[in-house]
Amino acid sequence: MPNGGPNSQAILVVGGGIAGISAAVETAEAGYDVILLESSPVLGGRVSRLNRYFPKLCHPTCGLEINYQRIRGNPRLKMFTMATVAGVSGEKGNYTVTVKTTPRHVNAKCTACGDCAAAATSEVPDASNYGLTTKKAAYLPHEHAFPMRYVIDPSVIGTPEADAIKAACKYDAVDLDETEQTFDVTVGAIIWATGWRPYDAKNLTAYSYELPDVINNVEMERLAAHDGPTDGKILRPSNGEEAKRVALIQCAGSRDHNHLAYCSRICCLASLKHAAYVREQYADADVDIYYIDIRAHDKLEAFHQKLKNDPQVTFHKSKPAAIVEGPDGRPVVKGEDTVTRDVYARDYDLVVLATGMEPSTAGFDLPVTLSQDDYGFIVPHVEDTDGMFSAGVAQGPLDVSMSVQSATAAALKAIQAVDGA
């Protein structure tokens, strides 16, 4: 365990999404000891739950697996999953960080054979699918999980089901007695890469998120994913029929002082990607995109133009006023087109709300005082503490490539902080 004492050159990275992973491997490969903490059972963060990601529309594994290899091959990097920060004291060069781990109930002997899941009888919500499906109480978070190790859900601990799960394991990998642990590490600098969560669409009462065929944009990623709830077929959640008439609602809660006052930067491109998912699956699909204005940054404007040239994708300059349930149960989008002044009420198989990214630290008491902006994003270089930095969406709405750039910047600043300490 890196535990440098005063003038420590070890660096702590909090959050194992693409930003935290990038910051950790860059720092470790530069020759520094690194501790990486991830609160969930797996690394990869929200990117691992995308179907494909722009600019190249590749599967998340193409960016993540190479980094997992770098982690596996670097003895300077120690990672802890199901771990977070309970307290921080000290100063640049000499922070004492209290780390808290929650039990996985499965140790490193796990071979991911799946016998424990076969023995489990109860089901729990599947976080990897944003709760669209359930999974067994002994589960692998997803098929590309890193580490590739099962988890026993705490809801079954102390029950006969847990005993059956343990008995099913041939490798003595199930540890029902594992408890929460805390321990201290000493580090010289800290990078906060705690990422984001989707803005809660339930707050958008006019948009009827409670209707089964009204979903948000991260759920759309799962509907299109081959390992998602519908094996990659874009189907209506209400009845399993093919979703061929699809509405994509931009700025659902974004740029709105009642919800998120800022632009999340990536939602327009995510919705263009979702239009492409639908059109690839169904030659006779019709997709309507409702927008205030389309913000396609950098070279991704070409992707926007490609979709604009598709006669089966229609752009409506309008922020819909409401989504209601039609007589046949289908969602109906109502509003006024700001260019043509037409008042519309159109029904769809599926409506996707492009909700924005909210910092995961918003609304929570952090274990240390960090400089945050009005929305809860952590400023990139926390001036008053000097040895703390932020990376990825923890510092503001960024796409993957910008998150990785910010992580490299944070890694360099952390190295400078511990070298100058």
Ligand X SMILES: Cc1cc2nc3c(=O)[nH]c(=O)nc-3n(C[C@H](O)[C@H](O)[C@H](O)COP(=O)(O)OP(=O)(O)OC[C@H]3O[C@@H](n4cnc5c(N)ncnc54)[C@H](O)[C@@H]3O)c2cc1C
Site stretch for ligand X (CB under 6 A), options 67-75, 146-154, 330-338, 396-404? 396-404
Residue 404 touches ligand X, criterion: CB under 6 A: no
Tokens standing for residue 217: 């944009």
| Residue of 23, 6, 3 whose CA lies nearest to 15 | 23
To the nearest whole angstrom, how small is the minimum distance from the Cβ of residue 83 to ligand X?
A: 7
Tokens standing for residue 325: 């349930």
Which alpha helices (H) appear in 135-256, and where do they start and end? Answer: 160-168, 217-224
CA distance 201 to 65: 32
For ligand X, the closer of residues 195 and 229 by Cβ is 195
Site stretch for ligand X (CB under 6 A), options 47-55, 92-100, 278-286, 316-324? 47-55
Helices 267-281 and 217-224 cross at an angle (nearest 10°) of: 30
Residue 39 touches ligand X, criterion: CB under 6 A: yes
Q: How many residues bind ligand X (CB under 6 A)?
A: 38
Among 26, 33, 38, 153, binds ligand X (CB under 6 A): 38
Residue 37 touches ligand X, criterion: CB under 6 A: yes
Which alpha helices (H) appear in 140-261, and where do they start and end? Answer: 160-168, 217-224
Residue 193 touches ligand X, criterion: CB under 6 A: yes
To the nearest whole angstrom, how small is the minimum distance from the Cβ of residue 406 to ligand X?
A: 8
Among 11, 13, 19, 156, binds ligand X (CB under 6 A): 19
Given a contact cutoff of 8 angstroms between Cβ atoms, the answer to whether 351 and 271 are in contact is: no
To the nearest whole angstrom, how small is the minimum distance from the Cβ of residue 313 to ligand X?
A: 17
Residue 393 touches ligand X, criterion: CB under 6 A: yes
Residue 322 CA neighbour count, 13 Å, CB half? 6
Residue 50 touches ligand X, criterion: CB under 6 A: yes
Residue 17 touches ligand X, criterion: CB under 6 A: yes
* CA dihedral of 150, 69, 43, 174, whole degrees rounded to 10: 20
Residue 272 touches ligand X, criterion: CB under 6 A: no
Site pattern 220..249 for ligand X (x: CB under 6 A): -x----------------------------
For ligand X, the closer of residues 53 and 146 by Cβ is 53
CA distance 221 to 226: 10
Given a contact cutoff of 8 angstroms between Cβ atoms, the answer to whether 128 and 142 are in contact is: yes
- Name residue 183's beta-bridge partners: 99
CA distance 88 to 370: 11
Site pattern 124..163 for ligand X (x: CB under 6 A): ----------------------------------------
| Secondary structure (3-state) at 163 | helix
| Secondary structure (3-state) at 317 | strand
Residue 390 touches ligand X, criterion: CB under 6 A: no
The residues of the shown chain that bind ligand X, judged by CB under 6 A, are: 14-20, 37-40, 45-47, 50, 53-54, 84, 193-196, 217-218, 221, 266, 270, 273, 357, 360, 392-394, 398-401, 403
